[in-house]
């Protein structure tokens, strides 16, 4: 009986030692994969880096208990993985990874880690346009930065919250306040340029064009073509609004030049990265098989580089088109939400979808039309005011017709709203263009003239 008890104790000790040794091995493998992932990330080999981080997490998950070092390692792995996901547009995955990192930093009591994780969670939420949640995470990061007096982080957060939250949600006054605080703090030269550009855009949205131009011109000290392109686009919009068309054309030209330079730079960096990756692979293959045909490998590497580059360009182009479509859909959805409260818009929309006795039995008064014009001005940046400033001879009904055209309604719908024949409406548009707009020789259609305003 005594011998059995001794054997049992020995077996338990052996199993315990084996489990501890296995756990130590898993931690060692996870650490090695993490370090390899960091190296690959620095070389901009994102997919391989992400694969290393995910494998490292698998090894850590195989351990039954987790030490302080393992929790710290898990936090760093998730933090890096989240940054990769965020960079490549996988926003839900980025949030999950950064949130896991946040929980680990909380267990460790790491204030700096928690502060960065809160900020990264805010970025992931903002990228998914979940602004209320983003603000909560940003506020938590801001609270910790204030508590530990991290001036550099406070400056970054002031800029990021002002630009990515308040400007995006339309609170331009608060955005200006936060970005000004950022400029008073510790920003590097690049972030200072971004802050000046952001203030310029915010003041432009607030219709304070003089201050907008002051900060936008400060931002032009930057050497980054992408940033300068955005600055010139805003300066173009200001000049166009002010009626300085010659200056507007000049800024538009500068914007296009910087856009081209930015695209060329990005393409060059992409090709350089591809070239580096394939050179490394070529060296590895050469060491493993010295007797292979070097010319054949070189041709293969070049061909793969070209194919990969073309695939990346196709993905980028597709992503840009998808973003443009989403932006247009969002703008249309927002416009419809605003306009659906107006009787004129709803009536015109119903007439465009189906003509019935119900849809034809409408009654519109002046208050309905006034509300329609006000909402059109809200969506299209004071359209009726700019219209009358350009063509002061237009009458009340002329302005209503122009607003209907601006909202994209057909000639048939507009003629029904005016209680006139379609042919008569065509003649009326011609009179407006030739007599009241004084554009008898303009080759554009009436709709093209309206949409250009």
Mean pLDDT of all residues belonging to the chain = 81
- pLDDT recorded at residue 64: 58
Using one digit for the tens of pLDDT, what is the confidence trace for 238-289?
988 888 888 888 888 888 887 777 666 554 444 444 444 444 344 444 444 5
Residue 16 has pLDDT above 70, yes or no: no
Gyration radius from the chain CA atoms: 31
Mean pLDDT is highest, among 99-103, 181-185, 265-269, 416-420, for 99-103
- pLDDT recorded at residue 21: 47
Using one digit for the tens of pLDDT, what is the confidence trace for 49-73?
888 888 888 888 765 567 888 899 9
**Among 380, 371, 310, which residue's Cα sits nearest to residue 344?**
371
150-214 CATH: 1.25.40
- pLDDT recorded at residue 124: 92
Q: Count other C-beta atoms under 10 Å from residue 430's C-beta.
A: 12
- pLDDT recorded at residue 325: 65
- pLDDT recorded at residue 54: 87
Using one digit for the tens of pLDDT, what is the confidence trace for 285-307?
444 454 455 556 656 766 676 77
CB 154 within 8 A of CB 185: yes
User: Using 50, 70 and 90 to split pLDDT, how confident is the model at 101?
Assistant: very high
Residue 191 has pLDDT above 80, yes or no: yes
How many whole angstroms separate alpha carbon 121 and alpha carbon 114? 10
How many whole angstroms separate alpha carbon 338 and alpha carbon 219? 35
- Residue extents of the structural domains in the chain: 1-130, 150-214, 223-318, 343-451
User: Using 50, 70 and 90 to split pLDDT, how confident is the model at 118?
Assistant: very high
Cα dihedral 8, 11, 17, 19 sign: negative
How many whole angstroms separate alpha carbon 153 and alpha carbon 118? 12
CB 236 within 8 A of CB 251: yes
Token representation of residue 333: 């959805």
Residue 82 DSSP SS3: helix
How many whole angstroms separate alpha carbon 42 and alpha carbon 73? 18
Type and span of the H or E element at 125: helix 111-127
Cα dihedral 195, 197, 200, 204 sign: negative
- pLDDT recorded at residue 24: 65
Buried b (16+ CB within 10 A) or exposed e, 9-43: eeeeeeeeeeeeeebeebbebbbebbebbbebbee
Place of tokens 């392109």: 229
CB 26 within 8 A of CB 60: yes
How many whole angstroms separate alpha carbon 26 and alpha carbon 3? 34
How many whole angstroms separate alpha carbon 413 and alpha carbon 405? 10
Q: Count other C-beta atoms under 10 Å from residue 382's C-beta.
A: 13
How many whole angstroms separate alpha carbon 123 and alpha carbon 120? 5
Provide mean pLDDT across the span 175-202. Answer: 90
Provide the 8-state DSSP code for 362. -
Same fold: 1-130 with 150-214: yes
Task: Write the class of the CATH domain 1-130.
Answer: mainly alpha
- pLDDT recorded at residue 400: 93
Type and span of the H or E element at 450: helix 446-451
Report which of residues 311 and 140 the model is more confident about: 140
Place of tokens 């990756």: 277
- pLDDT recorded at residue 9: 44
């Amino acid at each position: 009986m005594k011998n059995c008890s001794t054997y049992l104790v020995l077996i338990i000790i052996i199993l315990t030692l084996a489990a501890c040794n296995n756990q130590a091995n898993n931690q060692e493998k996870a650490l090695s994969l993490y370090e390899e992932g960091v190296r690959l990330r620095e070389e901009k080999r994102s997919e391989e880096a992400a694969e290393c981080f995910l494998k490292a997490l698998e090894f850590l998950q195989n351990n039954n208990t987790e030490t302080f070092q393992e929790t710290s390692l898990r936090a760093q792995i998730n933090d890096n993985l989240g940054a990769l996901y965020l960079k490549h547009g996988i926003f839900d995955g980025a949030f999950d990874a950064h949130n896991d990192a946040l929980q680990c930093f909380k267990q460790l009591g790491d204030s700096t880690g928690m502060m960065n994780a809160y900020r990264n969670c805010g970025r992931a939420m903002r990228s998914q346009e979940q602004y209320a949640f983003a603000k909560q995470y940003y506020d938590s990061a801001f609270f910790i930065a204030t508590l530990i007096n991290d001036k550099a982080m406070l400056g970054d957060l002031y800029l990021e919250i002002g630009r990515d939250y308040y400007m995006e949600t339309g609170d331009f006054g608060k955005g200006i306040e936060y970005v000004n605080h950022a400029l008073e703090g510790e920003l590097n030269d690049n972030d200072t340029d971004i802050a000046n550009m952001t203030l310029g855009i915010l003041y432009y949205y607030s219709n304070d064009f003089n201050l907008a131009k002051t900060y936008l011109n400060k931002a032009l000290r930057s050497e980054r073509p992408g940033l300068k392109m955005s600055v010139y686009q805003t300066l173009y919009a200001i000049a166009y609004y002010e009626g300085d068309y010659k200056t507007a054309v000049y800024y538009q030209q500068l914007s296009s030049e910087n856009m081209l330079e930015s695209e060329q730079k990005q393409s060059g960096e992409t090709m350089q990265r591809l070239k580096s990756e394939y050179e490394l692979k070529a060296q590895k293959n050469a060491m493993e098989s010295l007797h292979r045909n070097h010319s054949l490998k070189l041709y293969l590497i070049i061909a793969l580089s070209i194919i990969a580059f073309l695939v990346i360009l196709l993905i980028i182009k597709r992503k840009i088109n998808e973003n443009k479509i989403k932006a247009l859909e969002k703008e249309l959805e927002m416009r419809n939400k605003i306009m659906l409260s107006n009787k004129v818009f709803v009536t015109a929309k119903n007439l465009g979808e189906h003509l019935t006795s119900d849809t034809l039995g409408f009654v519109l008064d002046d208050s309905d039309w006034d509300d329609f014009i006000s909402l059109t001005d809200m969506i299209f940046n004071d359209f009726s005011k700019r219209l009358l400033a350009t063509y002061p001879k237009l009458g009340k009904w002329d302005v209503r017709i122009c607003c209907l055209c601006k909202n994209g309604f057909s000639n048939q719908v507009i003629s029904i709203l005016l209680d006139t024949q379609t042919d008569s409406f065509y003649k009326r548009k011609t009179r407006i263009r030739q007599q009241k707009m004084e554009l008898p020789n303009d080759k554009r259609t009436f709709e093209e003239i309206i949409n250009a305003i």
